[in-house]
Each structure stands twice: as structure tokens, then as C-alpha cells.
């Protein structure tokens, strides 16, 4: 496992970095397959969007690209994680006039390949609604941490989260697609959630084959009545849900076809 | 300025610390006056409450107390900041079964004393509502960062924030008290906001002199119609607002009396 901080292996992070003090930063989790970061342009697009919305200086993508290559060096298959924080600043929430972002790039082993669908339940931890942060993959992830800590007995593989109004938004670390009335539906993300790169890939793929995915608010009852559920994640690709709160679900053939199209191991 | 990480001056933080990766941590900002941390027991109470709600191991307060004393060593007046993260863990939101929290203790110079009231405006950045996190001083502070970055021209000293429903919650780094109909009112904090230690002190002080502060939901119109507004903060004490969005406000004599009671410089 390699970790680079501003390009230096083994370098530390300043304890006063705003990424740590306030969660003032962004991240991307990228699949490295056959030695190449999958969907890298889309990860960089989301990062650039986040940098703009958080008013960071424009990210130095040439340097990030080189550091990702360095962290991945010698690996064929790995999980790359990239964190970009606003760096140091004076005490207080106000960002410094001229920020010098901190770059953290790490390479992790590829996880064990899953051979069957996911057992999914409902999380009690709600998601706060905030359009200013919606869609971004930012470092404020306590809601996901608390939701994921609701079970530790191996009874579930993932949990679905709802916002305060009861809209279903996503799983703790994946986007959700539901097969409802013979069509794909996915929660719209204008108030919360992360606009996942694999979600984007699935939406593009499905639209290209003449089955556009509908993005809209989705109730818990609708999800409970879906004929199939799929979770998407940059590393895992599209993964079918085999049971929601104990109710068995069918697997849509589209899932395997999509995974084949993206070279999912 | 002294910074201790797990008791060691100048020690780094691991870039994979969950405090940085997910904002998985808590903090306290404490006034050191006459060489003593003010309201330390209340800061520790809130930290213990946060640790319980985030399912951290019980905090080691004896060690934290010693490290605060060490960071403050030789100082008479300073701002102490204490950060407690969940430490390291495997990749992913799920917390490790046995966490070893990271402690960061820093001492900053006491800020310039303010001689007049604050000019306050309204922030556009909303606060997400989430009862699971409400009241805690956790490390997910992007909303405050974005709100505070709405102005940088010196025209305002602070900004008030509202939740999605329009309830007024707080300023970016202070709690709010409003004088309405001859009584003190402060936003209730069951869905968002930080339960400030100075807010607690003011509520206790006011109740003791027979003027209990009413904690309830507060609309923007009510705040705009208040006869006086006060912001409270662990370092600044109680500070009167002299103008809200340009409208001049009176100063309540209670503010000076309260500040005298807590030895505010």
C-alpha cells in the first residue's frame, strides 16, 4: 500500500490541515484495472466540479495524474484513493485568500470479488438535505460512517439511506438503481447523495441501449416494491441486491451486460 | 503556537486518519484565561456526549487534561483547540471494531479584543437537518466553511444560518440569542447546530437571575424583528450584534453583566 502526500511517499499531513479540522476537502475512489485508472476523466470532472463549488483553486490534474500513476506503480489491479483538501489556513472557518491544496494519493489492494448479490437493509441514520453540498464527494462523511456502524454482525452487506423527507437517496457507499414498472429509476441527487461515477456510467450505458434511467425522487415504498435493485460503486461496478430486508429479489440480466461493458473483474 | 499529536509536539497525522478521510471526529475550542481553561468540565461533557453518540471509545480525559496543560504551558491567555478523531481503520466507512482515537491539542494566540458590536448578515448556505448529528461539535464543517466564505470584503463580522425549513439556527461560529417581546429566545438545536458551551453558560446565568431563556424554533422574521441580538462563543463570550443586515440594534445591559460574570477579557 503506497500513500503519497503532495507527491512524497510516507510524508505526513499537518494536524492543522483544513481537511482534518473541518472536512474541507474532496475525494475520489478509482478502480485501477489492467494498470489503468478506470473512468479517470469522469473522476477528474467531478473533482473539478467540487473544487469549483467549494471555491478551491483549480486542481492541478497533470500532477494528480502523475501521482496516481506513481502510487499505482507496478500494480495491475488496485483501488486508488485521491483526497484533495484546502490545505492550511488561519484558525476559523473562513478559507484563506490563497489556498494551497493538499494532495493525498493512496493505493489499496483490490477487494475480494463478490460472487453473489448483496443483502441490504434500511439504515436509521438519515441524510441531511443540503443542495450546496449535494452530489459532491466531499470529506464530510459522518452520516455514512454512522449508517455503516448500525450493523457489525455480518447480517447485511449494505444499507439504504433516506433523507429527512423519507426520500431514498443511496446506500452508504453506493448509488441505487431500482427496476420499477419495467423501467430503471434512480434517486435524483439535488438535495443529498453523491453523484457516483459508476452511476453515470450505468445511466449512459442504459440510455445508449434505448432504456434511459429516470432520475426522480423515490419513496421507500417504491423501493420495497421494486422487482430488482442494483447498487453501483466505482470499484464494485453494478452489483445486484439479492434481498432487501429479507425479501428476495430477482437479478436483471442488464447488470451482467453492463459489468461486461466496463470490464468489471 | 504549540501543536501536540497524541502528546507529542510536532508529530504528524497519518494521512489515512479517519478524522481526515471522513471527518470522523470531534473538537472543542476552549478559552485559556489566567492560565486556566474556562468551562473545561462542560467542554469535556460535550466531548463525552459526542464520543458516545459517534460510538468512540470513552475519551481519556486525564490524558487530554494533561496535554491541554502542556500545550498551554507558559501561556496566561490563549485559545486551545482539541480534536479527537476515531484514528486509523480499514478502508471504508465502517468504523474499526477497536478504535484508537487520535488526539490533537493546539494552542493559538488570543484574538484581538473586540470593542464594538458585530455587523451581521444572512448567509445563503443552508444547514442540513440531521438529529443524529445535531448539537455535536464534530469535524463535518463544510457548511460553516461555505457560509463563512460568502463574504471576504470586511463588510460583515458574522453571518446567520438557516436550515432547509427556514429556521434560524446560529451564526457560522457562534450561537444566537434574540431579545423578543422582552424575553431571551434561542434556537432549539434538535435538528442542527452546535450546543455551544457559552450558550449553556448564558442560559444557566440567565435562568439563575430569574430570566430563563426560551429554546424554540425561531423564524427569520422573528430574528429581524428582535430588539437585541447576541452571539455567544467559547472564546468571545457574549457579543452584541450592532446591526443585522444594516438595521441598527440596541445593546442589552445583560450582555456586559454576563461577560463580567465569566471573566471575559
Check if the beta carbon of residue A140 is closer than 8 Å to that of residue B84.
Answer: no
The confidence score (pLDDT) of residue B202 equals: 98
Of B125, B128, B141, the CB nearest to A23: B141
Contact B85 A148 (CB under 8 A): no
Distance CA B17, CA B29 (A): 21
User: Which chain B residues are within 8 Å of A144, Cβ to Cβ?
Assistant: 22, 93
The alpha carbon of residue B211 is apart from the nearest alpha carbon of chain A, in Å, by 32
Contact A20 B5 (CB under 8 A): no
φ, ψ dihedrals at B78, nearest 5°: -160, 170
Q: How many CB atoms lie within 10 A of CB A166?
A: 12
Residues facing A216 on adjacent strands: A187
User: Which chain A residues are within 8 Å of B91, Cβ to Cβ?
Assistant: 79, 81, 108
Q: What is the pLDDT of residues A17-46, one digit of tens each?
A: 999 999 999 999 999 999 999 999 999 999
Q: Where are the alpha helices (DSSP H) in chain B?
A: 18-22, 40-53, 61-71, 142-148, 197-208, 220-224, 253-261
Q: How many CB pairs under 8 A join A and B?
A: 184
Who contacts B113 (Cβ-Cβ below 8 Å, separation ≥6)? B265
- % of chain A with per-residue pLDDT over 90: 94
Check if the beta carbon of residue B91 is closer than 8 Å to that of residue A79.
Answer: yes
Who contacts A246 (Cβ-Cβ below 8 Å, separation ≥6)? none
Q: How many CB atoms lie within 10 A of CB A53?
A: 16
User: What are the cell numbers at B122?
Assistant: 444572512
Report the b/e string of B122-160 with b at 16+ CB within 10 A.
Answer: bbebbbbbbebbbbbbbbbbbbbbbbbbbeeeeebbbbb
The confidence score (pLDDT) of residue B114 equals: 76
What residue in A sits closest to B145 (Cα-Cα)?
A93
Q: Where are the beta strands (DSSP E) in B163-227?
A: 168-171, 175-180, 183-187, 214-216
User: What are the cell numbers at B83?
Assistant: 480534536
User: Which chain B residues are within 8 Å of A148, Cβ to Cβ?
Assistant: 92-95
Distance CA B187, CA B201 (A): 15
Q: What is the 3-state secondary structure (H, E, C) of chain A?
A: CCEEECCEECCCECCCCHHHHHCCEEEEEEEEECCEECCHHHHHHHHHHHHHHCCCCCCCHHHHHHHHHHHCCCCCCEEEEEEEECCCCCCCCCCCCCCCCEEEEEEEECCCCCCCCEEEEECCCCECCCCCCCECCECCCHHHHHHHCCCCCCCCCEEEEEECCCCEEEECCCEEEEEECCEEEEECCCCCCECCHHHHHHHHHHHHCCCCCEEECCCHHHHHCCCEEEEEECCCEEEEEEEECCEECCCCHHHHHHHHHCCCC
B201: left (phi over 0), alpha (psi -120 to 50) or beta: alpha
What residue in B sits closest to A150 (Cα-Cα)?
B94
Tell me the HSE value of B223 on the side-chain side, using a 13 A CA sphere. 29
Check if the beta carbon of residue A150 is closer than 8 Å to that of residue A143.
Answer: no
What residue in B sits closest to A139 (Cα-Cα)?
B22
The confidence score (pLDDT) of residue A96 equals: 94
Q: What is the pLDDT of residues B36-77, one digit of tens each?
A: 999 999 999 999 999 999 999 998 999 999 999 999 999 999
Of B104, B129, B130, the CB nearest to A15: B104
The confidence score (pLDDT) of residue B174 equals: 98
Contact B128 A129 (CB under 8 A): yes
| Averaged pLDDT for residues A193-215 | 98
Contact B18 A145 (CB under 8 A): yes
Altogether, the residues listed in chain B come to a count of 265
Distance CA B200, CA B8 (A): 32
pLDDT band with cut points at 50, 70 and 90 for residue A114: confident
Contact A128 B133 (CB under 8 A): yes
Q: What is the pLDDT of residues A117-159, one digit of tens each?
A: 999 999 999 999 999 999 999 999 999 999 999 999 999 999 9
User: Which chain A residues are within 8 Å of B23, Cβ to Cβ?
Assistant: 22-23, 139-142
Q: Tell me which residue of B17, B47, B18, B11 sits closest to B30, measured CA to CA.
A: B47
What residue in B sits closest to A96 (Cα-Cα)?
B149
User: What are the cell numbers at A233?
Assistant: 460503486
The confidence score (pLDDT) of residue A253 equals: 94
Q: How many CB atoms lie within 10 A of CB B115?
A: 5
What residue in B sits closest to A157 (Cα-Cα)?
B94
Taken in order A232, A233, A235, A236, the sign of the CA dihedral is negative
Q: What is the pTM (predicted TM-score) of this model?
A: 0.97
pLDDT band with cut points at 50, 70 and 90 for residue A113: confident
Average pLDDT, chain A: 96
For residue A219, CA distances in Å to A60, A184, B152 come to 40, 14, 41
User: Which chain B residues are within 8 Å of A14, Cβ to Cβ?
Assistant: 12-13
What residue in B sits closest to A102 (Cα-Cα)?
B15
The confidence score (pLDDT) of residue A191 equals: 98
Distance CA B153, CA B102 (A): 37
Contact A148 B22 (CB under 8 A): no
Contact A173 B93 (CB under 8 A): yes
The confidence score (pLDDT) of residue A115 equals: 77
The alpha carbon of residue B105 is apart from the nearest alpha carbon of chain A, in Å, by 9
Distance CA B164, CA A188 (A): 18
Contact B5 A23 (CB under 8 A): no
Distance CA A151, CA B119 (A): 47
pLDDT along chain B (265 residues), means of 10: 93 96 98 97 98 94 97 95 96 93 97 89 98 98 98 95 97 98 98 98 98 98 98 97 96 96 96
The confidence score (pLDDT) of residue B188 equals: 98
The alpha carbon of residue B66 is apart from the nearest alpha carbon of chain A, in Å, by 19
Exposed/middle/buried for residue B70 (C-beta within 10 Å: 0-12, 13-18, 19+): middle
Contact A15 B106 (CB under 8 A): yes
- % of chain A with per-residue pLDDT over 70: 100
Element (H, E) at B230: strand B228-233
Of A15, A128, A164, the CB nearest to B3: A15
The alpha carbon of residue B129 is apart from the nearest alpha carbon of chain A, in Å, by 5
| Averaged pLDDT for residues A173-187 | 98
Confidence check on the interface: ipTM exceeds 0.85, yes or no: yes
The confidence score (pLDDT) of residue B1 equals: 72
* A204: pLDDT strictly greater than 90: yes
Contact B143 A149 (CB under 8 A): no
The alpha carbon of residue B142 is apart from the nearest alpha carbon of chain A, in Å, by 6
Average pLDDT, chain B: 96
The confidence score (pLDDT) of residue B115 equals: 77
Q: How many CB atoms lie within 10 A of CB B209?
A: 11
Q: What is the dihedral of CA A59, A61, A62, A66, to 10 degrees?
A: 110
Distance CA A181, CA A190 (A): 24
* A84: pLDDT strictly greater than 80: yes
The alpha carbon of residue A39 is apart from the nearest alpha carbon of chain B, in Å, by 20
Amino acid at each position: 500500500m503506497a500513500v503519497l502526500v503532495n507527491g512524497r511517499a510516507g510524508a505526513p499531513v499537518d494536524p492543522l490541515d483544513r481537511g482534518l479540522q473541518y472536512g474541507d476537502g474532496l475525494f475520489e475512489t478509482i478502480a485501477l484495472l489492467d494498470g489503468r485508472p478506470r473512468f479517470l476523466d469522469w473522476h477528474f470532472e467531478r473533482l473539478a466540479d467540487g473544487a469549483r463549488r467549494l471555491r478551491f483553486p483549480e486542481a492541478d490534474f497533470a500532477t494528480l495524474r502523475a501521482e496516481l500513476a506513481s502510487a499505482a506503480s507496478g500494480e495491475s489491479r488496485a483501488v486508488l484513493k485521491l483526497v484533495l483538501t484546502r490545505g492550511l489556513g488561519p484558525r476559523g472557518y473562513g478559507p484563506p485568500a490563497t489556498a494551497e491544496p493538499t494532495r493525498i494519493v493512496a493505493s489499496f489492494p483490490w477487494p475480494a470479488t463478490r460472487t453473489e448479490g448483496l443483502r441490504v437493509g434500511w439504515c436509521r441514520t438519515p441524510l441531511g438535505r443540503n443542495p450546496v453540498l449535494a452530489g459532491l464527494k466531499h470529506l464530510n462523511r459522518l452520516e455514512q460512517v454512522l449508517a455503516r456502524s448500525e450493523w457489525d454482525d455480518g447480517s447485511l452487506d449494505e444499507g439504504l439511506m433516506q433523507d429527512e423527507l423519507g426520500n431514498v437517496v443511496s446506500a452508504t457507499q453506493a448509488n441505487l438503481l431500482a427496476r420499477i414498472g419495467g423501467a430503471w429509476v434512480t434517486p435524483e441527487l439535488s438535495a443529498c447523495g453523491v453523484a457516483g461515477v459508476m452511476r453515470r456510467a450505468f445511466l449512459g450505458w442504459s440510455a445508449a441501449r434505448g432504456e434511459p434511467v429516470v432520475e426522480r425522487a423515490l419513496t421507500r415504498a417504491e423501493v420495497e416494491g421494486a422487482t430488482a435493485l442494483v447498487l453501483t460503486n466505482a470499484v464494485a461496478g453494478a452489483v445486484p441486491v439479492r434481498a432487501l430486508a429479507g425479501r428476495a429479489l430477482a437479478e436483471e440480466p442488464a447488470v451482467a451486460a453492463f459489468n461486461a461493458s466496463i470490464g468489471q473483474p
